[in-house]
């Protein structure tokens, strides 16, 4: 395969050939190439189609600012859309595909949009798809969505991994051009901890793209030599292929390192990319500058590119878009391109300079005071039309045109903390200004020092300043020091279909139209025309739009101002922001101590918070979950069942003021709770709404063990720390979460005591007399293992909760199962637990739903008036204590086969069904195997006084109406005899 | 953000949980407070553009609650105190 447009020289390894494909066609390139440079070397200029008009496009730039050469990389699950060919590092076997075209890149049916461009101007969608309104959702939007967008997703899971990491340094240097390299050298030699990050795979910045020498060697060699020295310094960390995407608070920077994007597949065990969080004491932004184009009619044809990018392709990559090129410039920098390309044997058709005093050349023709007014060439540039200084027109034949409108400092990161850049009249460009992110300094072209000498010098000086280095500054190596003055020239007079934003197809005409239609703010201009809203974020286009807007409004550019720069600096994969936190690893999975045992038993698990809990334990032959759950409930009520309740939050409260403390956090009293006793406690929020409930067991005068619901464990602990530290700072009380330290099992049912007696060491009396309902104690089990025993019941049966250190949890469960064989012990899961608590009328998360009070829950009298506690004051306010306040009740269907569903609302037996006549709602429902029909818990207005009333339970969503009777919520054992047995 | 913990030095804000305005520490005296005082305490918060005293709970650390004075417009932190020490003054 011949590389027709490959020049001599360059920083590519010609000894190695890399084969790659573009749109299925084979090409060859070399290590050091980007996809764009390799395609140009193969005489491919057409690389994409534009977003709206589907105009043929080639690369405008040679870097990350690229708006046009946007392609899909790779295939299969690794397919990545909207990737810039100008930064994609070439590797052997790379496959790239053009996008946003059908059926092919050269012939794109959607290019009809270009012919319709008179209708497709700014605001087209807003104006056109107004009527009829109903058409928008069904017809217009689907069509527009189909037509819009660039690349396509593979729709398959990303096979690669992404990591996150943390780094710290004294000085973070962003950009490894002349300023960054010299800064790193200065700081590194002084012994500072330095990180030097650059988005390119080869450090050196513009030095790799220029022919100017530094001292007695080429700029590229100086860069390579400097990088080599930095690599030997242990205090300097070089991070190539790393884009600093954002400047965040307090010297924290986000950076994406592309670890494996230059490889066919990541090496074993390596991530594709890493998101670094860099903590920098000081930061030096050496991000360089971006060349700005000039707008003229049809300035978007493949082959028209920024002049300095054309020079970079020639010098660094030994590639040219054509062997006959012209230059259109308003400054001396454009002449450099002509000079360098001429030196590489490329024919310079003409240098068209807008200045009448443009420098002349012996080597090629310079058209002074001339302007490009139009271009030709359907799929690639063939001719440019030039208006000469004398008013005559001339056609120049060329396959490529380098355009230079001057340079814009890359101020983006200086603005990430809402700083605004300031306008430099001398440079006719925005430079860093206002308040920079704390600890940030700027050097080199990013600060407006455009010459190589200026960059080297300002880099070294800024590093010395940032680190507070004293003594004589080291000499700056000799380099070109051309003045940086720029005269603005934004667009050719009279142009209309002249592209500003090539990626979003915004032309000079669109900006004028937006002004004509009254959009005066730059932020409105941006949103109305979509200027600068594409993936390149207007790096090459925003300034041109501002300039035209300013001119139309009769203002200066700084008066118009810029839009706000926000992170990320370049497009960032969502995958790297997520890192390892995806799929099952989105949050931690917490396993209970009996998990392995439960898995062996074939348990079905449910996620509760981060926990996996056994939901039920199906037996062979059971085909429906209800069969298993009904059996578990019945067996527990008949004999004994065991349930893992480790996930309940456990907080150890210790100190001489522990009782006083609990008196404050619980609405009911704890001061008089005897040692060895447990009490139910209800916690309120300060606004009087119930927050959580649980038990507190007094194991010693100065020690309580508090339990919380599984879901609220973290929040309750946090609340208790707030009360302890902020409201009761003098109290002698300490808190520690022990949720994971203890494995805890509920042993419930009439045979629970007999089962436990086989395990609890004989010197502990757990008879009804020796260990009555609500007793608690530190005991030993299984011959000396320390344990805690609580006689508490959620199921309504005679029940205990037994806790052992977590590492014995698995063994204890197995022991309970073995010893319980004679009682047909049955493990039960969260479903059976839920059924039994509904049968018993115990409130749970469905009832403690953030809107209910102690009164609603039927616990109004629990709120002690004898003491102050959190929420006690506001729970007394009239609005929460109206005569018809909601009260928790039980609900029974009149006809036993009827369904009761949670979420349904309660209406009177007759009358309208609407919100105005709402009587309450159902919070929990279950089939009760004990009663043989469904039951529900709900909140009913004045529910305490409406026992026996018939209501309608309605659910318009599921089209359900069921007649229910209001009954006590205590369906099973209302007298509470079983728990005391 | 980086919060300079009085006991542990500079720590990343990701280790903390935000608990709201430090005004939450000024709980009304239940002996003397009026219904309005309780209403204001539970529901009214200042929303300053500028320095704001607020509580940060070091959940991923030593579980101290800190009073952080943070400028809401710039995130500049001008003071960090242990809530318990301030509360007991």
Q: Residue B55 is part of which domain span?
A: 2-87
Q: State the CATH number of the domain containing residue B40.
A: 3.30.2270.10
Q: Looking at chain B, which residue has its C-alpha nearest residue A689?
A: B42
Q: By the CB < 8 Å criterion, does B83 face chain A?
A: yes
Choose among B33, B38, B87: nearest Cβ to A725: B87
CB-CB under 8 Å, A721 with B43: no
The structural domains of chain A, ordered by start, are: 18-115 (3.10.20.440), 162-290+409-467 (3.50.50.60), 489-553 (1.10.10.1100), 641-835 (3.30.1360.120), 882-980 (2.40.30.110)
- Residue B46 CA to its chain's centroid (Å): 13
| The two structure tokens encoding residue A1 | 């395969």
Distances from the Cα of A636 to the Cαs of A395, A559, A639, in angstroms?
95, 78, 5
Q: By the CB < 8 Å criterion, does A687 face chain B?
A: yes
The tally of domains found in chain B comes to 1
Selection from A323, A289, A326, A324 nearest residue A307 by Cα: A326
DSSP assignment of A727-748, as one string? I-TTS--EEEE-TTTEEEEEEE
The reported pLDDT for the residue numbered A130 is: 63
DSSP assignment of A885-903, as one string? -EEEEEEEESSTT----TT
The reported pLDDT for the residue numbered B63 is: 96
To 10 degrees, the CA torsion angle through A876, A877, A883, A884? -110
Distance of alpha carbon A775 from alpha carbon A785, whole angstroms:
20
Helical ranges in A666-769 per DSSP H: 713-722, 752-757
Q: By the CB < 8 Å criterion, does B34 face chain A?
A: no
Selection from A284, A544, A568, A211 nearest residue A439 by Cα: A284
CB atoms within 10 A of CB B86: 17
Task: Give the gap in angstroms from C-alpha A321 to the nearest C-alpha of chain B.
Answer: 47
Q: Looking at chain A, which residue has its C-alpha nearest residue B74?
A: A417
SS3 (DSSP) at B31: coil
Q: Is A855 exposed, middle or buried (0-12, 13-18, 19+ CB in 10 A)?
A: buried
Q: Looking at chain A, which residue has its C-alpha nearest residue B57?
A: A718
CB-CB under 8 Å, B59 with A718: yes
The reported pLDDT for the residue numbered A418 is: 83
Distance of alpha carbon A176 from alpha carbon A285, whole angstroms:
10
Choose among B35, B57, B84: nearest Cβ to A729: B84
Angle (nearest 5°) at CA A542 between A205 and A513: 160
Distance of alpha carbon A641 from alpha carbon A655, whole angstroms:
36
Choose among A435, A726, A874: nearest Cβ to B25: A726
Low-confidence stretches of chain A (pLDDT beneath 50): 1
The reported pLDDT for the residue numbered A157 is: 93
H or E element at residue B68: strand B65-71
Q: Which residues of B touch A250 (CB under 8 A)?
A: 1-2, 75, 77
Percentage of chain A exceeding pLDDT 90: 89
Distance of alpha carbon B28 from alpha carbon A870, whole angstroms:
11
CB-CB under 8 Å, B17 with A250: no
| Chain A stretch 838-877, residues whose beta carbon is closer than 8 A to a beta carbon of chain B | 868, 872-874, 877
Q: Looking at chain A, which residue has its C-alpha nearest residue B77?
A: A250
Helical ranges in A42-123 per DSSP H: 112-115
Q: By the CB < 8 Å criterion, does A718 face chain B?
A: yes
Percentage of chain A exceeding pLDDT 70: 97
Per the CB < 8 A criterion, the answer to whether A686 and B42 are in contact is yes
Q: By the CB < 8 Å criterion, does A581 face chain B?
A: no
Peptide bond into A103 cis (omega under 30): yes
pTM of the model: 0.92
Q: By the CB < 8 Å criterion, does B85 face chain A?
A: yes
Q: By the CB < 8 Å criterion, does A279 face chain B?
A: yes
- Please give the DSSP secondary-structure letter assigned to residue A42: T
- Residue A160 CA to its chain's centroid (Å): 17
The reported pLDDT for the residue numbered B81 is: 98
A977 Cβ partners below 8 Å, 6+ apart? none
Q: b/e string for A197-211 if b means 16 or more Cβ within 10 A?
A: bbbbebbbbbbbbbb
Choose among A252, A868, A877: nearest Cβ to B30: A868
Choose among B19, B33, B35: nearest Cβ to A722: B19
Q: By the CB < 8 Å criterion, does B41 face chain A?
A: yes
Selection from A749, A725, A675 nearest residue A705 by Cα: A675
CB-CB under 8 Å, B24 with A726: yes
Angle between helices A542-553 and A508-516 (to 10 degrees): 40
| The two structure tokens encoding residue A750 | 């009439």
Q: By the CB < 8 Å criterion, does A252 face chain B?
A: yes
Task: Give the gap in angstroms from C-alpha A797 to the nearest C-alpha of chain B.
Answer: 38
CB-CB under 8 Å, B17 with A729: no
CB-CB under 8 Å, A721 with B33: no
Choose among A249, A726, A873: nearest Cβ to B30: A873
CB-CB under 8 Å, A725 with B84: yes
Q: By the CB < 8 Å criterion, does A918 face chain B?
A: no
CB-CB under 8 Å, A722 with B2: no
Q: By the CB < 8 Å criterion, does A686 face chain B?
A: yes
Per the CB < 8 A criterion, the answer to whether A188 and A194 are in contact is yes
Task: Give the gap in angstroms from C-alpha B8 to the nearest C-alpha of chain A.
Answer: 17
SS3 (DSSP) at B44: coil
Q: Which residues of A touch B85 (CB under 8 A)?
A: 729
Q: How many interface pairs between A and B have CB atoms less than 8 angstroms apart?
A: 64
CB-CB under 8 Å, A727 with B87: yes
CB-CB under 8 Å, A725 with B42: no
Distance of alpha carbon A521 from alpha carbon A530, whole angstroms:
13
Q: Which residues of A touch B83 (CB under 8 A)?
A: 725-726, 729
H or E element at residue A908: strand A905-908
The reported pLDDT for the residue numbered A136 is: 67
CB-CB under 8 Å, B1 with A250: yes
Q: What is the pLDDT of residues A386-430, one digit of tens each?
A: 999 999 999 999 999 999 999 999 999 999 998 899 999 999 999
| The two structure tokens encoding residue A207 | 């030095």
């Amino acid at each position: 395969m011949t590389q027709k447009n490959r020049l001599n020289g360059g920083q590519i390894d010609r000894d190695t050939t890399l084969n790659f494909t573009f749109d299925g066609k084979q090409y060859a390139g070399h290590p050091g190439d980007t996809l764009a440079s390799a395609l140009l070397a193969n005489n491919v200029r057409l690389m994409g189609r534009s977003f709206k008009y589907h105009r043929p496009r080639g690369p405008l730039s040679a870097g990350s600012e690229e708006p046009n050469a946007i392609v899909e990389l790779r295939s299969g699950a690794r397919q990545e859309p909207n990737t810039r060919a100008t930064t994609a590092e070439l590797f052997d076997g790379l496959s790239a595909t053009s996008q946003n075209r059908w059926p092919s890149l050269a012939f794109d049916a959607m290019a009809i949009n270009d012919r319709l461009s008179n209708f497709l101007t700014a605001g087209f969608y807003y104006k056109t798809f107004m009527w009829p309104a109903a058409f928008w959702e069904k017809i217009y939007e689907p069509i527009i969505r189909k037509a819009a967008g660039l690349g396509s997703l593979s729709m398959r899971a990303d096979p690669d991994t992404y990591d996150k990491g943390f780094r710290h340094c004294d000085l973070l240097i962003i950009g490894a051009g002349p300023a960054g390299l010299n800064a790193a050298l200065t700081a590194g030699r002084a012994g500072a901890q330095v990180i030097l990050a650059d988005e390119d795979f080869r450090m050196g910045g513009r030095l790799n793209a220029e022919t100017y020498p530094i001292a007695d060697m080429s700029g590229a060699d100086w860069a390579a030599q400097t990088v080599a020295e930095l690599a030997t310094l242990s205090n300097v960390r070089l991070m190539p292929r790393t884009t600093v995407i954002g400047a965040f608070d307090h010297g924290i920077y986000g950076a994406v390192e592309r670890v494996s994007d230059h490889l066919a597949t990541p090496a074993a065990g390596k991530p594709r990319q890493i998101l670094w969080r860099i903590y920098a004491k000081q930061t030096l932004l050496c991000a360089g500058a971006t060349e700005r184009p000039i707008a003229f009619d049809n300035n978007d044809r493949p082959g028209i590119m920024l002049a300095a990018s054309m020079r970079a392709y020639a010098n660094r990559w030994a590639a040219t878009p054509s062997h006959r090129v012209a230059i259109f410039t308003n400054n001396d920098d454009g002449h450099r391109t002509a000079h360098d390309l001429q030196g590489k044997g490329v024919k310079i058709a003409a240098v068209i300079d807008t200045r009448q005093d443009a420098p002349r050349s012996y080597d090629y023709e310079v058209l002074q005071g001339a302007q490009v007014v139009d271009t030709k060439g359907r799929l690639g540039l063939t001719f440019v039309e030039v208006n000469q200084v004398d008013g005559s027109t001339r056609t120049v034949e060329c396959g490529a045109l380098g355009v230079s409108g001057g340079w814009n400092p890359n101020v983006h990161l200086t603005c990430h903390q809402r700083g605004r850049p300031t306008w430099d009249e001398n440079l006719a460009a925005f430079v860093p200004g206002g308040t920079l992110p704390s600890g940030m300094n700027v050097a080199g072209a990013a600060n407006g020092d455009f010459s190589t000498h200026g960059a080297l010098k300002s880099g070294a000086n800024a590093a010395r300043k940032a680190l507070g280095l004293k003594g004589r500054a080291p000499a700056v190596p000799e380099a070109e020091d051309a003045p940086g003055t720029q005269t603005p020239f934004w667009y050719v007079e009279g142009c209309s279909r002249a592209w500003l934003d090539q990626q979003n197809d915004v032309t000079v005409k669109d900006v004028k139209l937006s002004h004509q239609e009254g959009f005066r703010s730059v932020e409105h201009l941006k949103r109305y025309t979509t200027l600068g809203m594409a993936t390149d974020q207007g790096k090459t286009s925003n300034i041109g739009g501002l300039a035209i807007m300013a001119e139309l409004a009769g203002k200066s550019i700084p008066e118009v101002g810029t839009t706000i720069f926000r992170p990320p600096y370049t497009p960032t994969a969502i995958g790297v922001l997520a890192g390892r936190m995806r799929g099952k690893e989105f949050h931690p999975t917490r396993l209970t101590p009996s998990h392995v045992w439960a898995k062996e038993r074939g348990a079905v698990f449910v996620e509760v918070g981060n926990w996996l809990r056994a939901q039920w334990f199906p037996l062979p032959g059971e085909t429906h979950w209800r069969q298993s759950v009904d059996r578990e409930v019945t067996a527990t009520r008949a004999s004994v069942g065991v349930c893992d309740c480790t996930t309940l939050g456990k907080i150890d409260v210790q100190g001489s003021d522990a009782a006083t403390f609990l008196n404050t956090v619980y609405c009911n009293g704890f001061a008089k709770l005897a040692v060895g006793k447990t009490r139910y406690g209800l916690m309120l929020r300060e606004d009087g709404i119930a927050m959580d409930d649980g038990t507190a067991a007094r194991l010693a005068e100065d020690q309580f063990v508090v339990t919380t619901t599984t879901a609220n464990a973290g929040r309750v602990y946090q609340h208790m720390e707030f009360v302890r530290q902020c409201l009761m700072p003098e109290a002698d009380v300490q808190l520690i979460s022990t949720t994971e330290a203890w494995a805890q099992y509920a042993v419930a049912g009439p045979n629970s005591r007999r089962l436990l007696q086989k395990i609890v060491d004989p010197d502990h009396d757990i008879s009804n007399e020796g260990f009555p309902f609500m007793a608690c104690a530190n005991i030993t089990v299984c011959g000396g293992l320390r344990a805690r025993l609580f006689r508490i019941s959620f199921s309504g049966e005679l029940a205990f909760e037994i806790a052992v250190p977590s590492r014995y949890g698995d063994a204890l469960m197995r022991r309970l199962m073995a010893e319980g064989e004679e009682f047909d012990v049955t493990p039960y899961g969260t479903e059976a637990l839920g059924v039994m608590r509904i049968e018993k009328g115990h409130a749970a998360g469905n009832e403690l739903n953030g809107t209910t009070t102690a009164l609603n829950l039927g616990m109004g009298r629990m709120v002690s008036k004898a003491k102050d506690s959190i929420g006690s004051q506001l729970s007394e306010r009239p609005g929460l204590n109206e005569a018809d306040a909601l009260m928790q009740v039980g609900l029974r269907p009149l006809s036993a086969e009827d369904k009761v569903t949670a979420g349904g609302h309660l209406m009177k037996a007759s009358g309208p069904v609407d919100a105005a006549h709402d009587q309450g709602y159902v919070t929990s429902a279950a089939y009760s195997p004990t009663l043989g029909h469904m039951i529900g818990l709900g909140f009913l207005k004045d529910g305490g006084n409406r026992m026996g009333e018939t209501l309608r339970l309605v659910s318009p969503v599921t089209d359900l109406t069921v007649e229910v009777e209001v009954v006590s919520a205590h369906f099973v054992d209302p007298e509470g005899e079983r728990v005391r047995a | 953000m980086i919060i300079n913990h009085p006991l542990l030095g500079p720590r990343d804000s990701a280790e903390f949980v935000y608990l709201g305005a430090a005004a939450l520490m000024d709980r009304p005296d239940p002996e003397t407070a009026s219904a309005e005082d309780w209403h204001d305490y539970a529901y009214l918060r200042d929303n300053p553009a500028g320095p704001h005293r607020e509580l940060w709970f070091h959940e991923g650390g030593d579980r101290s609650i800190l009073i952080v004075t943070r400028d809401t417009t710039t995130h500049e932190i001008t003071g960090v105190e242990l809530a318990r020490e301030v509360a007991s003054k």
